[in-house]
Amino acid sequence: MSDKSISDDAAASVQAIRPIALMVASSGLLTINDAIIKWLAQTYPVGQVMSLRGALVIVILVTWAIARRHTSALRVYNWRLQLTRGGLMSLSTFLFVTALTLMPLADAIAITFAGPILATALAALLLREPVGWRRWSAVAIGFTGVVLMMRPTPELIRLAAIVPLLAALMGAFRDIVTRKMGTGGESTLAILLISTSVVTLVGLLTVPFGWAPVGPLNLALFAGSALLVGFAQGLMIESFRLGEVGLVAPFKYASLVWAVVLGLLVWRDLPGPWTWTGATLVV
C-alpha cells in the first residue's frame, strides 16, 4: 500500500470521528430525555407530552436564533421535504412515547434498535449509498436480534412490541429524509424548527381528548426535556449531514447502556433474557 493510500485512509478515519461522536452524544442525551418522557407520560396524554415539549423547543430555538442573529438560518428551501420529515417525526414520536407507557424503558429502546438496521437498508435502496456484503450480513443478524427482542410466543410476537418497531421504521425513513435535506442545503436550525412545529401541531389535535393540568415541577421537567431533545436532535442532524447513514446510524446503539442504567435507577427495571440476547445480536 502506498504512502498516499495510507494518508487517505487516515484522513477518512479522522473525518468519520466527528459524525460518530455527534451521534453517540445525541443518543446519550435522547436516552435521558426518554426517561423524563416516560415519567411524564404516566401522568399526561401522549399528545400533550408531544405538544408541550415541542412548543418549548420552538421557543428555545427562535430565542437562540434571534439572540445570535442567525435568523437567516431559518430559511426553508424545500418545504416538501421539510413537511415530510415533520410528519415522519410526528409518527415516530407518537409511537415511541406510546411504547414507553407499555413497557420498560430499556425494552422499548432495544426494540427501536431496528431503526439503524432499517435505515442502512433504506439508504442503499433510496440514496444509493454503498452497502457491501458485510453491512448486509449485519442487517440480517440485527433483524434476527430484533425478532428475539420482540419475544416470540405461540401468538408469534408480543403485540406491544409492534409499537416501538413501527416507531423505528418511521424513524428510519426520517433519517433518510434528514440525510437528503442535510446534503441539499437545508440548515440544521430550519430542519429542527419545522419538524418540531409539525410535531407540536399534531399534538395539539389531541386537546379535545382531554389534557391534564401541569404543576410547576412537571413544567420544569417539560422544559428540561425540551432542552435535551432540541440539543440532541441538532447533534443528530449534524451527524447525518457529515456522515453516511450506514456509518453513523448504528452508533445509536450506545443508548442501550444509558437505558439500562436509567431504567434500573428510576423504575428498578432490568431487561429480560430475550432482550439481552436480541440486543447483543443487534449491537
**Torsion over CA: 56, 98, 265, 218 (sign):** positive
**Torsion over CA: 144, 253, 52, 211 (sign):** positive
- At 159-187, the pLDDT tens digits run 778 898 899 999 999 989 988 887 777 88
- At 141-156, the pLDDT tens digits run 777 777 777 665 544 4
- What gap in Å lies between CA 158 and CA 62, rounded to an integer? 42
Q: Buried b / exposed e across 109-140, counting CB within 10 Å, b at 16+?
A: bbbbbbbbbbbbbbbbeebebebeeebeebbe
Lowest mean pLDDT among 63-77, 82-96, 258-272: 258-272
pLDDT at residue 2 in the model: 54
- What gap in Å lies between CA 150 and CA 134, rounded to an integer? 25
Distance from the first to the final alpha carbon of the chain? 32
More confident: 110 or 91: 91
> Around 157, how many Cα atoms within 13 Å sit in the side-chain half-sphere?
13
- What gap in Å lies between CA 281 and CA 87, rounded to an integer? 31
Global pTM reads: 0.75
Q: Give the residue among 220, 262, 236, 232 at the shortest CA–CA distance from 52.
A: 220
Amino acid (1-letter code) at residue 137: S
- What gap in Å lies between CA 82 and CA 87, rounded to an integer? 9
- The residue behind cell 433519517 is 175
- At 33-83, the pLDDT tens digits run 988 988 898 899 999 999 999 999 999 999 989 998 888 888 898 999 999
* Phi, psi dihedrals of residue 262, rounded to the nearest 5°: -65, -40
